[in-house]
Chain A
């Protein structure tokens, strides 16, 4: 089943792919930024402050997506006793934390002119802060324990604790009264965001996803090199 994960094969991919991903990332990011900052119209109510959304929303999406993936891979690693899954999780985590912080900071910058406050302890914002703390916990676990077995178990447990928070973040705006507005983009019903604003948003999401992929590949490559250097430690 895990033939796919033969170290030599993946190593070939992870060592050559980053340059192509970087190239693609730069292209998509430049188109996305031009679309978001220049071409897309200003909002009828918040005028140019809407442009913060093109960074804020993709960053939040990506950080949620990465945490879900970390949990998935950690659980796979735990269930199938496969070290490789844990290394994938580890390599993914840091860009997730960065995007989580980006989402919090840009949200704060947007909140001041629109809401009138930098920070509000409402359900969406607080749960997003908790997610950042879980990311931190996860990354710290990898640093404080020397025994790998221990790291695998504790980091899996942290992700399982943290994953409960992900649906809470998603539905916090529907379940409770929050200062944060509900989702504008719905898969099942009509979105309440105009298409001229939706396309730059999706482009920026693609750009951020490519960036995460790039960081992931580079980090994962490093992990594989570490294993190669140890020589004894097989996947």
Chain B
């Protein structure tokens, strides 16, 4: 149906595409650690040595774990398997709340304690009006 040249050009594009996809896949796979925005408490537990540089930890704020004394906030980040204690002093974002996603940026003291220099609230993918949320809560 098509000429030989057309087929060859199509093949050429196809080969370029496949090459690029494989290359990108391999690059991203090897760079995984740098691509992730934060690590989970479980990943922190698996660390062999504690890095002194700035890292980010993300997960859920554990229920009833927030305590505010004078100018320091402490809470627990959990991924439902492991937990990590976080201390922080500074302004909290509006959406920071119990049982909601959070990303803390700062330094690890040891495998269980983290001192944050910045707190970001992570929003989840649920969008609904307040009435629907109340109705869901009653169930």
Contacts and interface: CB of A to CB of B under 8 A. Distances in A.
Interface in B107-134: 118-133
Contacts of A176: 32, 35-37
A163 B14 CA distance: 13
A193 B122 contact: no
Given A75-B13, A177-B38, A178-B37, A197 B122 contact: no
Nearest to A173: B125
Interface in A30-50: 41-46, 50
A16 interface: no
A114 B123 contact: yes
Contact of A46 (B20, B28, B95, B120): B95
A120 B120 contact: yes
A115 B120 contact: yes
A11 to B, nearest CB: 27
A179 B37 contact: yes
Nearest to A125: B37
Given A44-B132, A160-B16, A178-B37, A168 B127 contact: no
B26 interface: no
Nearest to B93: A116
A44 B132 CA distance: 8
If over half of A's interface residues share one DSSP class (helix, strand or loop), that class is named, otherwise mixed; here it is loop
Interface range on chain A (Cβ under 8 Å from partner):
35 or more
A177 B37 CA distance: 6
Contacts of B130: 41-44
Given A78-B13, A177-B37, A177-B39, A114 B121 contact: yes
Q: Give chain B's interface secondary structure class.
A: mixed
Contact of B122 (A168, A179, A184): A179
Interface in B18-32: 20-21, 24, 28, 32
Contacts of A193: 125-128
A229 to B, nearest CB: 30
A163 B120 CA distance: 31
Contact of B9 (A78, A181, A197): A78
A123 B133 contact: no
- Residue of A45, A75, A113, A163 ringed by the most chain B CB atoms within 10 A: A45
A46 B95 CA distance: 7
Interface in A148-178: 156-157, 160-161, 163-164, 168, 176-178
B77 to A, nearest CB: 13
Given A41-B130, A181-B123, A113 B94 contact: yes
A226 interface: no
A19 interface: no
A181 B125 contact: yes
B9 A41 contact: no
Contacts of A197: 127-129
Interface of B: 6, 9-10, 13, 16-17, 20-21, 24, 28, 32, 35-40, 58, 92-96, 100, 103, 118-133
15 contacts: A43-B130, A44-B130, A44-B132, A45-B100, A79-B10, A115-B121, A116-B95, A116-B96, A116-B120, A123-B37, A157-B16, A179-B120, A192-B125, A193-B126, A193-B127
Top 5 nearest A-B pairs by Cβ distance?
A116-B93, A41-B129, A44-B133, A122-B37, A194-B128
